[in-house]
Each structure stands twice: as C-alpha cells, then as structure tokens.
Amino acid sequence: MPEWLQSLLPEGWTPWHVAVTGVVLAVASALVSVVVIGYVLSRLPADYFVNPAAREVKARHPVVHVLFLIVRNLFGVLLIVLGAIMSLPGVPGQGILTILMGVMLVDFPGKHHAERWLLTRRGVLTGVNVLRAKMGKPPLLAELPHSP
C-alpha cells in the first residue's frame, strides 16, 4: 500500500481492512440506492408519464416552494457529483445509480422526455410495474414507442 494512503488510514489498518470496508460500503450504497429508487417509483401516480396534470406539484406557499426547489436541485447536483466520484476505478459505490438518482432530482429542459425514454426501454417498465405491484400500487402507464 502506498505510503500516502497508509497515512490517511486509521492506525493499524491493513489492505485487508481497506478491502472489507470497500465491499461493505459498495453493498450498503447499492442497497440504499435500490430502496430509495423503489420508494420514489412506488410514490409516483400511475398516470405520471401520460398525464401532465399528474406531474403538477401541490399548492404550497411560494417561499416554501422556492426553497424546496433549491434544496432538491442542490441535493441532486450533490448526488451527481458523488456518483461521478464513485464511478472512478477503485472507489466503492454504485456510481451510475447515484448519478441517475441525482438526475431525477435536478430540473433541466427535456428531463421528462428523458425519463419517458428510459422507462420505455425493454424490460424497464415491466420491472418497475412488478416492483409497484409488490408495493400494492397500480402499474405505471406509459406509451411504448411504435415498432417500425
């Protein structure tokens, strides 16, 4: 192990400790990602992707609404940055899943179109609806792309 890395670790840590900690962090972040994504998908209205009114945010005080948007977008950017770091070789964690969670939170033009595109990929909608069925929720409705 390089000297600079050893100096950053707690006293007495060996490469074995580093490997075990990396595996534990990777498994924990994967589980958290799956639980959070499952929770978010189960909370969406069934017509979220086909009915623009289903995407409307409930009426809130304007100040609360703006603060919510700012916090949500900042948290989304934080998740994107953390996901990019976790995508680097040797860094434990589910980088791609974390980036996707961040992208889901950040507002940008074309976001809804990108979400629909991802949802209509082969097997994704089926998997999401199986998850929703296990949570006692109705299946998500989405217009599948027409086959040529």
Both structure tokens of 4: 């600079």
Distances 95 to 12, 80, 98, 144 between C-alpha atoms, Å:
29, 9, 5, 28
Reported pTM? 0.61
Q: At 121, is the secondary structure helix, strand, or coil?
A: coil
What pLDDT, on a 0 to 100 scale, did the predictor assign at position 93? Answer: 66
Looking at every residue in the chain, the average pLDDT score rounds to 83
pLDDT tens-digit series, residues 28-59? 877 887 788 888 888 888 888 887 777 777 77
* Residues shown for the chain: 148
Domain boundaries, the chain: 3-134
pLDDT in tens, 65-92: 899 989 999 999 998 898 888 888 877 6
Among 140, 28, 139, residue whose Cα is nearest residue 86: 28
Measured distance CA(137)–CA(134) in Å, rounded: 8
Position with higher pLDDT, 20 vs 119: 20
